[in-house]
Amino acid sequence: MSDQPTFDRYADDYDASLALALELSGEDRMFYAKGRVSWLDRCLRELKFAPLRGLDYGCGVGTTSPLLADRFGLAQTIGVDVSPRSIELARAKESSQRCSFFLMDEYRPDASLDLAYCNGVFHHIPLAQRLGAAKYVHDALCPGGIFAFWENFGWNPGTRYVMAHCVFDKDAITLTPGQGRRLLRAAGFEIVRTDFAFVFPRLLRVLRLLEKFLSKLPLGAQYQILARKPLIRTGKPRGDLYR
Ligand SMILES: C[S@@+](CC[C@H](N)C(=O)[O-])C[C@H]1O[C@@H](n2cnc3c(N)ncnc32)[C@H](O)[C@@H]1O
Q: Which residue CA neighbors atom 4 of ligand 1 most closely?
A: 60
Number of Cα atoms under 13 Å in the Cβ half of residue 127? 6
Beta-strand (E) ranges in the chain? Answer: 53-57, 76-81, 99-103, 113-119, 141-152, 190-197, 222-228
Least confident residue range of 95-99, 140-144, 167-171: 95-99
pLDDT at residue 165, rounded to an integer:
85
Taking the CA atoms of residue 161, residue 30, residue 131 and residue 236 in that order, the dihedral angle to the nearest 10 degrees is -140
- CA distances (Å), origin 99, targets 27, 60, 63, 78, 119: 26, 13, 11, 6, 17
* Mean pLDDT computed over 120-135: 97
* Residue type for position 202: R
Class assignment of domain 8-233? Answer: alpha beta
Q: How far is the CA of 87 from the centre of ligand 1 (A)?
A: 11
Domain ranges of the chain: 8-233
What average pLDDT does the structure give for the chain? Answer: 90
What's residue 2's pLDDT? 41
Alpha-carbon distances, residue 217 vs 11, 16, 46, 221 (angstroms): 34, 31, 20, 11
pLDDT score for 180: 98
Q: Using the predicted structure, report yes or no on whether residue 5 has a pLDDT greater than 50.
A: no
Where are the extended beta strands (E) located within 9-158?
53-57, 76-81, 99-103, 113-119, 141-152
Q: What is the pLDDT of residues 61-93, one digit of tens each?
A: 999 999 999 999 999 999 999 999 999 999 998
User: How many A from CA of 13 to the centre of ligand 1?
Assistant: 14
Share of the chain above pLDDT 90, in %: 72
Note the pLDDT of residue 1. 42
- Name the pairing type of β-strands 76-81 and 99-103: parallel
Gap from CA of 4 to ligand 1 centroid (Å): 12
pLDDT at 4 over 60: no
Q: Which of 59, 68, 81 to mutate to test the pocket of ligand 1 (most atoms within 8 A of CB)?
A: 81
pLDDT value at 97 more than 90: no
Closest atom of ligand 1 to 18 CA is: 1
pLDDT tens-digit readout, 156-190: 998 998 898 888 888 899 999 999 999 999 999 99
Examine the pLDDT at 103 and tell me if it is beyond 80.
yes
